[in-house]
């Protein structure tokens, strides 16, 4: 498929389309109009059409969307038809939560390694993958082709570890450390800053309170 430059806002909405289409498939729905999809997802039908037109459309006039076909096509756009070897650095609660999330494996994200600084975790297995200590990381990366590293470690160590990862061939980092990683431009970084999300929530509470005081 020819790809133009697609805005990150559109990309950000694709996983949600994928999720709704997956649910429709599970419900046995074979096709859906953009109006119906729009009602379910609470976005306008024109938004849906515009978003999908970025990738060539997929819809047929008067027929709507073939649910399974659209699900698969969006999956391909998202790279879910590929295998992505993944390691998790930091096997605390958050790292374990991510390691235990079976759906990642179903979508091609294959957990190949777990790492931690804590010797008490060494050898503990999560979903059949044993925790290794950090001093094994470089050697492990040289022997295994790892595409994605998940960083669930404190921010003080994050940049140093990220550099080790990148220098040993890791191309993408899913970063939960509360820091912006300054890495070479060809490294793909996706940040999840949980406390920033909580602050947005708290902003919206304050704003709501403020509006109600005025009334």
- Annotated binding residue 64: no
Pairing of strands 84-89, 125-126: unpaired
Give the CA dihedral 85, 139, 152, 161, nearest 10 degrees. -120
90 in a known ligand binding site? yes
95 is in an annotated binding site: yes
Report the residue number, 42 or 120, with the smaller CB distance to its own copies. 42
Q: How far is CA 200 from CA 46, 84, 193, in A?
A: 28, 31, 11
Q: What is the distance between the alpha carbons of residues 55 and 67, in angstroms, rounded to a whole number?
A: 16
Cβ distance to its own copies smaller for residue 60 or 199: 199
Q: Kindly tell me which of 29 and 194 has the beta carbon lying closer to its own copies.
A: 194
DSSP string, 2-26: ------HHHHHHHHHHHHHHHHHHH
**Minimum CB distance to its own copies smaller for 15 or for 123:** 15
**C-beta of 163: minimal distance to its own copies in Å?**
18
CB 61 → its own copies: shortest distance, Å? 28
Distance CA 112, CA 109 (A): 9
Residue numbers at the binding site for its own copies (CB under 8 A): 3, 6, 8, 11-12, 14-16, 18-19, 41-42, 77-80, 82, 84, 92-94, 96-98, 100-101, 103-104, 107-109, 147-148, 171-172, 174, 178, 180, 186, 188, 190, 192-208, 210
91 is known to lie in a ligand binding site: yes
Q: How far is the CB of 60 from its own copies (least distance, A)?
A: 25
Q: Closest approach of Cβ 113 to its own copies, in Å?
A: 17
Beta carbon of residue 143, minimum distance to its own copies (angstroms, whole number): 21
Residues 6+ apart with CB under 8 A from 63: 31
For its own copies, the closer of residues 64 and 175 by Cβ is 175
Was 57 annotated as part of a binding site? no
Nearest CA among 76, 79, 74 for reference residue 147: 79
Q: Can you give 38-66 as a three-state secondary structure string?
A: HHHHCCCHHHHHHHHHCCCCCCECCCEEE
- Binding-site residue numbers for NAD(+) are 90-95
- Binding-site residue numbers are 90-95
């Amino acid at each position: 498929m020819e790809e133009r430059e697609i805005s990150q806002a559109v990309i950000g909405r694709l996983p949600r389309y994928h999720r709704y289409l997956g649910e429709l498939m599970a419900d046995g729905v074979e096709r859906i109009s953009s109006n119906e999809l729009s009602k379910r997802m609470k976005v306008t039908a024109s938004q849906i059409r515009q978003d999908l037109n970025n990738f060539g459309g997929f819809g047929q006039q008067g027929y709507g969307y073939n649910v399974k076909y659209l699900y698969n096509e969006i999956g391909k756009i998202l790279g879910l038809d590929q295998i992505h070897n993944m390691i998790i650095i930091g096997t605390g609660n958050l790292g374990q939560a991510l390691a235990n999330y079976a759906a990642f494996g179903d979508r091609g994200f294959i957990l190949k390694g777990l790492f931690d600084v804590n010797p008490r975790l060494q050898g503990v297995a999560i979903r059949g993958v044993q925790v290794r200590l950090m001093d094994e990381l470089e050697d492990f990366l040289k022997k295994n082709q790892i595409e994605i590293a998940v960083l669930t470690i404190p921010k003080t160590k994050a940049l140093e570890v990220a550099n080790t990862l990148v220098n040993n061939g890791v191309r993408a980092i899913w970063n939960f450390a509360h820091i912006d990683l300054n890495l070479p431009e060809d490294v793909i970084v996706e940040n999840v800053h949980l406390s920033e999300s909580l602050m947005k929530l708290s902003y919206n509470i304050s704003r709501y309170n403020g509006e109600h005081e005025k009334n």
